[in-house]
Structure 1
Amino acid sequence: MLIATTSMSFTSQKHNTRVTMSVSLVIQILILSANYVEPAYGLGMFSAITSIFNGGYDSIRCKFATCCDDWGIIKNYTGLEHDLASKLHGQHLVQKTVVGHIRGHLQSHDPPKALVLSFHGPTGVGKNFVSKIIADNVYKDGLNSPFVHMISATREFPHEGMIPFYKDQLKSWIEGNMTKCEQSMFIFDEVDKLPARLLDVIKPYMDYYQHLNGINYRKAIFVFLSNTGGTDIAKVLLDQWKTGRSREALKLSEVEDTVMRAAVNTENKNGLWHSQLISSHLITAYVPFLPLEKEHVRKCIMDCLLSRYSLQINNIHDKIIDDIVKELTFFPPAEQIFSSTGCKRVSEKVDYVMMDNDEYSNSKYNTKRHSEF
């Protein structure tokens, strides 16, 4: 993380240098202009320059850089709701929960605490994808916004014996970024692989404090992504399927407690295991991501074909999708209901089937290849 922080600081320094040079150029033009006017007007010009430099620097800077204001933080609730409804498949619990909490938090001028969402579910069901959708609709530059920060557990915290060092680094990283923008978003990927109790160091930033060292942390958003609870969620859904109850009838209250217990009692004793974030009830919502069924995987395949190949919807034959589905694995072994990897491997399987040269060149699917291939 030290390397990542240094890189981030270096990028920020270059960006700030460009902004400063642009502002300096404007001021120099104004100064040169003042040399060609009468003295009385020249003094007025210099007063204007002083006013711009002292009071209008931020306004000028925000013309060249993303600022922590309504320009940099767009809060597009309609777009958020639309993207989750149209791009995310098979996750009715996620759509309602995420939209409700994000909208409620951002519309509050004085939220009681930071928003903390903990995403749980098996691989390939959309946890990272939803994080991206949130960033795209809350921040102007999405995941590239200077106020959106993603951290990977396995990359940044690989050594169990360095927890004290990691705690200091994590604390400094959050405080430094919050100093720049109190509406920052922090995404922690692979939380289930974090060293035990590491997250306890950020507990104060998620608590109900008015300020900490002059910074208001209550406007921040924290998102945890974890595979913990995936097996338990699948069991709940499978039991429901066996009773003949529809997937969409499942309510958040029926799964959230299962997810919380799985997180706090995880067998590997990492991530949120016995975390103060749980015991202090600082996690706003445990958001369960359900295993995907074949109908949802087929929609992922359709999305991939439309985005990667020059296919029209009416030209995508069931035969194409069927062949791609056959390349994926499903469980339980007898029923074959849920995808073992969600939609994670869809893209590579689409390419594998579509790049079968003999069958493809013989127009087996009656489609055209995209120019990029």
Structure 2
Amino acid sequence: MKLLKAAVIFVLVPTLTPAFDPLSVSVVAGSAVMAWHLFSSDSWLRCRFQECCNKNATVNFTALKAQLDNRLFGQHLAKDVVLKAVLGFSNNPSPKKPLILSLHGWAGTGKNFLSQILAEQVHPAGLRSKFVHLFLATLHFPHQDQVKLYKEQLQNWIRGNVSACPSSVFIFDEMDKMHPGVIDAIKPFLDYYEEVDGVSYRKAIFIFLSNAGGDLINKAAFDFWSSGKRREDIQLKDLEPLLSVGVFNNKNSGLWHSSIIDRNLIDYFVPFLPLEQRHVKMCVRAEMTARGYAVDEKIVQAVADEMTYFPKEQKIYSDKGCKTVQAKLDIHEDFVMRDMKARA
């Protein structure tokens, strides 16, 4: 505020000077413009020093694809669906409704990872951005007897944040643990309305993450494997109808009998397939590279072998996906460091 006061003083002082001084007027005008650039809510100068809202929700498709290719493994369906959905939404100057994605699959398959990558492409600070909001069912909506209060708070929270930034991103994790009815509070914001109480929600992005439907996805993947078909041959049409019906009728899902599904407001039900050992190895290599280690295939194999796999007889899929890769690599870290020192 000191700079703003200085600008105001510059404006007032020349008015007390009896003689007209063009140079003083120029300084005054320049100071006023500078003050506007510093304190206007979306001025380019202010946005250089603090985060500003990306109001148009533009996404760099090439950058998003590169991130998904390099960091998300074994999920050809999720990559394809999200890339197409985001590209269409981002390129549409006047969408009719917010983009709504529902990600399903067992833990460790990459749902959180993908939502973080997507959030980073809309707002570079990702989960640290004041325009990206993460809700955890067990943390933010823990008590069943307070559902009515949660619904009111959720509506107020989303209304306020979208008013501040139309392209806000909302991520709802643990949807399978959310009390039924809570999420229906935001249904008016997801529907085909131009505005709700003077606020447009059409450029916002809503992402639901859930383990619900994971069993259906795993069975479909195993059926493909059993029939000799390639994993990569699984298409969205093979799984999406099963997911939408299964989640709607699942009493252990926050989307149980939800009006959001009933009104067909979810754009895509995105399946995350169970990860095979080759995908776990990709996760290990990526983690080693991220830590600055040279990739040692013996360590990669050792970490992959420590994971547990299902079905019991065939042992094809990791039952925790890549979720425990970091922790298991920690155990081998001493060996990795000693090997790096020896090579050095």
TM-score (norm 2): 0.90
SS in 2 for 1:119: strand
Once residues 259 and 22 of structure 1 are traced to their aligned partners in structure 2, the CA distance between those partners, rounded to angstroms, is 57
How far residue 144 of structure 1 moved from its aligned partner, in angstroms, is 1.7
What percentage of residue pairs aligned between the two structures are identical?
Answer: 38
- 2:293 is matched with 310
Q: Cα offset for 1:328?
A: 0.9
1:262 aligns with 2:246: yes
Task: Tell me what 2:46 maps to.
Answer: 61
Matched-pair contact (CA < 8 Å) for 2:37–2:46:
no
Aligned to 1:24: 4
Superposed counterparts of 1:281-300, under 5 Å: 281-300=264-283
2: CA distance, partners of 1:25 / 1:292: 60
Q: Report the equivalent of 1:137.
A: 121
Match of 2:209 in 1: 225
What is the one-letter code of the residue matched to 1:349? Answer: K
Aligned residues of 1:74 and 1:140 also touching (Cα < 8 A): no
Q: Residue 305 of structure 1: CA displacement?
A: 1.5
Alignment of 1:30-41 (within 5 A): 30-31=10-11, 39-41=20-22
Aligned partner of 1:350 among 326, 329, 333: 329
Please state whether the residue corresponding to 2:202 is helix, strand or coil. Answer: helix
Q: Deviations over 1:154-181 (max 9, x none)?
A: 1001100001110110000000001101
Tell me the secondary structure at the aligned position of residue 170 of structure 2.
strand
Quickly say closer, same or farther: Cα 1:306–1:62, change in 2 above 3 A.
closer
Q: For residue 190 of structure 2, what is the aligned residue in structure 1?
A: 206
Mapped to 1, the partners of 2:2 and 2:92 lie a distance apart of: 35
Look up the match of 2:309: 330
Q: 1:156 aligns with which of 115, 121, 140?
A: 140
Which SS does the other structure have where 2:172 is aligned? Answer: strand
For residues 243 and 351 of structure 1, the distance between their equivalents in structure 2, rounded to whole angstroms, comes to 38
Distance 2:10 2:281 in 1: 61
Question: Is the contact between residue 58 and residue 90 of structure 2 (CA under 8 Å) also seen in structure 1?
Answer: no
Q: Secondary structure at the match of 1:149?
A: strand
Q: What amino acid does structure 1 have at the position aligned with 2:202?
A: R
Q: 1:55 to 1:124 in 2, by over 3 A?
A: closer
CA contact (8 A) 1:115 1:221 kept: yes
CA deviations on 1:4-47 (whole Å, 9 max, x unpaired) are xxxxxxxxxxxxxxxxx375266258459959985443456546
Q: Say yes or no: does 1:172 pair with 2:172.
A: no
How much has 1:85 moved relative to structure 2? Answer: 1.3
Q: Matched residues in 1 for 2:217 and 2:2: separation?
A: 54
Partners of 1:348 and 1:93 in 2: CA distance: 27
The answer to whether the 8 Å contact 2:7/2:32 transfers is: no
Does the residue aligned with 1:217 lie in a helix, a strand or coil? coil
Separation (CA, whole Å) in 1 of partners of 2:244 and 2:218: 15
Q: Please report the TM-score for the alignment, with normalisation by the length of structure 1.
A: 0.83
Do 1:154 and 1:190's aligned partners in 2 also have CA atoms closer than 8 Å?
yes
Amino acid at match of 1:286: F
How far, CA to CA, are the matches of 1:243 and 1:257 in structure 2?
21
Q: Is the 8 A contact 1:74 1:139 kept in 2?
A: no
Q: Which blocks of at least 5 consecutive residues in structure 1 are unaligned? A: 1-20
Kindly tell me the number of residue pairs found equivalent between the two proteins: 339
- Do the aligned partners of 1:73 and 1:140 also contact (CA within 8 Å) in 2? no
Question: CA 1:215–1:367 in 2, change beyond 3 Å: closer, same or farther?
Answer: same
Q: CA RMSD in A?
A: 2.7
Instruction: Pick one of 148, 167, 183 that aligns with 1:183.
Output: 167
